[in-house]
């Protein structure tokens, strides 16, 4: 299998899980001090990961959650941000300028910041109040904090069982998802690598995944033309320009919003002969119960699109590391 780094995939999962005790200590201390609300702040891909988590939390938790794009927060503000707010940020490089400024901004308000920053010597790692160097999926990192906050609020009684299953099975499971998704990803890439347009549809906690896949991977790293659209709004505009040969890709997950992507799929087949569904349900993970698959859908979908990336990179002969403008020009 092309560029299949089995050990790295498993390590990424387990590296996050290995930081659970550290996260618990930080979160428990904050819960003891008290906090009014949780701000999830990101930009680009980290904003999309925050969208995924917010989608889960707003229906499952009584904790007040605010999703903020770092650059927007800096200019628009948010009256709910205060010295009693808990802020969560993630960053690989630790020097994303808008997030660095946002952390300064929330500090001025007196809020505490937990950061999952991979580069421990970076400005962000130094700026946050609690730095956790977990080096894995942004969504999964933030989920650790969210589930502990929820457990402490009496809302996620399955906490210990959830993590027992993750620690025993998720690493191997994600490796198997990637292995199982590869053929379909290859077929997709070969058929669609040169398409003039890629529509990417998602719902619930995979709307962030669709938004991010189109923007951070297809546009930024693969130089492909995309439009991402939520399943909800697909029916309120975007449907009108879909024709027989339009390339429509649906990210289907297992949270409560699955009915919405089902609705898009059932309709779009009537007008389009070029629909591809990537469905987390096609990729079971042994040892992990069905009731946890909704929460895990962003992690499973990320494993699926990891293979789409590898295959598109090959089919397009476009190394994904190339950037022409991003972090190369000043803006």
**Positions that interact with a copy of itself (CB under 8 A):** 43-45, 47, 55, 58-62, 64, 69-72, 75-80, 98, 196-197, 203-204, 214-216, 219-221, 223-227, 229-233, 235-242, 255-257, 259-260, 263, 266-267, 270-271, 323-326, 329, 331
Closer of 225 and 287 to a copy of itself (Cβ): 225
The residues that bridge with 201 in the sheet, in sequence order, are 229, 250
Question: Any idea which residue has 């339009």 for tokens?
Answer: 246
225 and 324 Cβ atoms separated by less than 8 Å: no
- Least distance in Å: CB of 168 to a copy of itself? 29
Cβ proximity to a copy of itself, 21 vs 196, nearer residue: 196
- State in angstroms the smallest separation of the CB of 199 from a copy of itself: 10
Question: Shortest Cβ distance from residue 184 to a copy of itself (Å)?
Answer: 24
Of 17 and 232, which CB lies nearer to a copy of itself in the complex structure? 232
Q: b vs e for 316-329, b when ≥16 Cβ sit within 10 Å of the residue's Cβ?
A: eeeeeeeeeeeeee
Nearer to a copy of itself, 154 or 237 (CB): 237
Minimum distance of a copy of itself from residue 131's CB (angstroms): 22
In whole angstroms, how close is the CB of 256 to a copy of itself at the nearest point? 5
Can you read off the two tokens belonging to residue 273? 């002969």
Minimum Å gap between C-beta 53 and a copy of itself is: 13
Decide whether 38 or 285 has the Cβ nearer to a copy of itself: 38
Closest to a copy of itself by CB, 165 or 297:
297
């Amino acid at each position: 299998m092309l560029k299949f780094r089995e050990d790295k995939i498993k390590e990424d999962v387990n590296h996050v899980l290995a930081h659970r005790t550290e996260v618990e200590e930080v979160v428990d201390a904050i819960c003891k001090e008290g906090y009014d609300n949780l701000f999830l702040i990101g930009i680009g891909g980290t904003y999309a990961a925050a969208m995924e988590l917010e989608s889960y939390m707003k229906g499952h938790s009584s904790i007040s959650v605010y999703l903020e794009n770092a650059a927007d927060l800096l200019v628009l503000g948010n009256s709910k941000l205060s010295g009693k707010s808990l802020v969560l940020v993630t960053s690989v490089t630790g020097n994303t300028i808008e997030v660095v400024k946002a952390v300064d901004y929330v500090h001025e308000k007196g809020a505490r910041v937990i950061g999952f920053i991979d580069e421990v010597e970076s400005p962000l790692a130094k700026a946050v109040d609690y730095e956790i160097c977990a080096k894995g999926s942004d969504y999964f990192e933030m989920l650790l904090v969210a589930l502990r906050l929820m457990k402490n609020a009496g809302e996620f009684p399955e906490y210990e069982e959830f993590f027992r299953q993750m620690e025993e099975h998720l690493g191997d499971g994600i490796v198997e998802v990637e292995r199982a998704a590869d053929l379909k990803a290859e077929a997709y890439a070969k058929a669609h690598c040169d398409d003039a347009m890629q529509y990417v549809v998602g719902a619930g906690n995979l709307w962030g995944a669709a938004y991010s896949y189109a923007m951070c991977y297809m546009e930024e790293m693969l130089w492909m033309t995309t439009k991402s659209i939520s399943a909800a709004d697909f029916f309120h505009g975007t449907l009108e320009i879909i024709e027989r040969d339009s390339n429509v890709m649906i990210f289907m997950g297992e949270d409560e919003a699955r009915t919405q992507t089902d609705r898009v799929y059932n309709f779009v087949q009537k007008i389009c002969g070029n629909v591809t569904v990537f469905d987390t349900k096609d990729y079971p993970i042994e040892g992990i119960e069905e009731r946890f698959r909704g929460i895990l859908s962003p992690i499973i979908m990320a494993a699926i699109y990891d293979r789409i990336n590898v295959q598109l990179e090959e089919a397009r002969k476009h190394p994904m590391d190339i950037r022409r403008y991003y972090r190369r020009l000043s803006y």
